[in-house]
Amino acid sequence: MSQVSISDAIGDAAEKFCGLGASSMIYDYAPMLQNHRPTEVALPALIEGRGLPEQMIPDWCGLNLFPDDPVQVHAMRTSRPFCWTYHPGESSPIAPALNNNIGHSVAKRLLEWGLGRGMTLPLHLPKRGFATVTAFLTGPVSQMPSFEALAAFTLEAHILQERLLPQIEAVRPHIPHLTPREVECLYWTSEGYSSKQIAHRLNLSESMIVKHLQSASRRLSARNRTHAVVLAERYGLLG
């Protein structure tokens, strides 16, 4: 596909989603997925939508509502498209969070804006991060999308993601390269093993293990071994 601007790609997708009953949509991308904490939502580096209230994106990012959004939290736990609703009493995968009063500020705003129902596709991008595509629906719960409409939304969302890949590369941070042995030593460190224990496990000298860990720390610009493990997990280098 030829490269297009973010604005044009989002606009084209919004038109497609409108044909599926959506009133508005939003796309967000975070370059690093902290896969060791599957419910932890990072603020997006790229976020844009169509047909949204003017204050929505500033509130989501500036007031830190984004990490508390039950839709985003659920999206981190699945790779399947799903429909959701913030309306009390309606069946939804985010209902347990709402029943526990999680995301109350998010729910309040979306309901006030008439954006209380929608469908979302999570996009777990290997070595690239995490994105979601969400279309907000105007109809009542009885008119939630059919299987065919959800499938059509999923296809169009994937097309949007493909068109945005060049722009994503521009905002994605440089991921340091580690050798397989450095990754292996950091992995066993993350599991609580000492240098001596790792040396025994890998049949290497303890001094060699220390050398690999020091090298990995330098490549990651880490302050110490613990910091190196945290950064390696954040970059998705430990699997």
Q: Distance between CA atoms of 16 and 135, rounded to whole angstroms?
A: 10
Q: Dump pLDDT digits (tens) for 84-95.
A: 999 998 999 999
Which pLDDT band holds residue 239 (cuts at 50, 70, 90)? low
Domains of the chain, CATH where assigned: 6-171 (3.30.450.80), 180-234 (1.10.10.10)
Taking the model in full, what pTM does it have? 0.73
Contact 87, 98 (CB under 8 A): no
- Given this model, what pLDDT does residue 37 score? 47
Q: Regarding beta strands 46-50 and 22-30, do their DSSP bridges make them parallel or antiparallel, or are they unpaired?
A: antiparallel
Report the percentage of the chain scoring pLDDT > 90: 64
Q: Dump pLDDT digits (tens) for 99-119.
A: 888 889 999 999 999 999 999
CB atoms inside a 10 Å sphere around CB 58: 11
**Average pLDDT across the chain, whole number:** 89
- Given this model, what pLDDT does residue 227 score? 92
Q: Distance between CA atoms of 29 and 35, rounded to whole angstroms?
A: 15
Give the length of the chain.
Answer: 239
For 19, which DSSP code?
Answer: T
- Given this model, what pLDDT does residue 230 score? 85
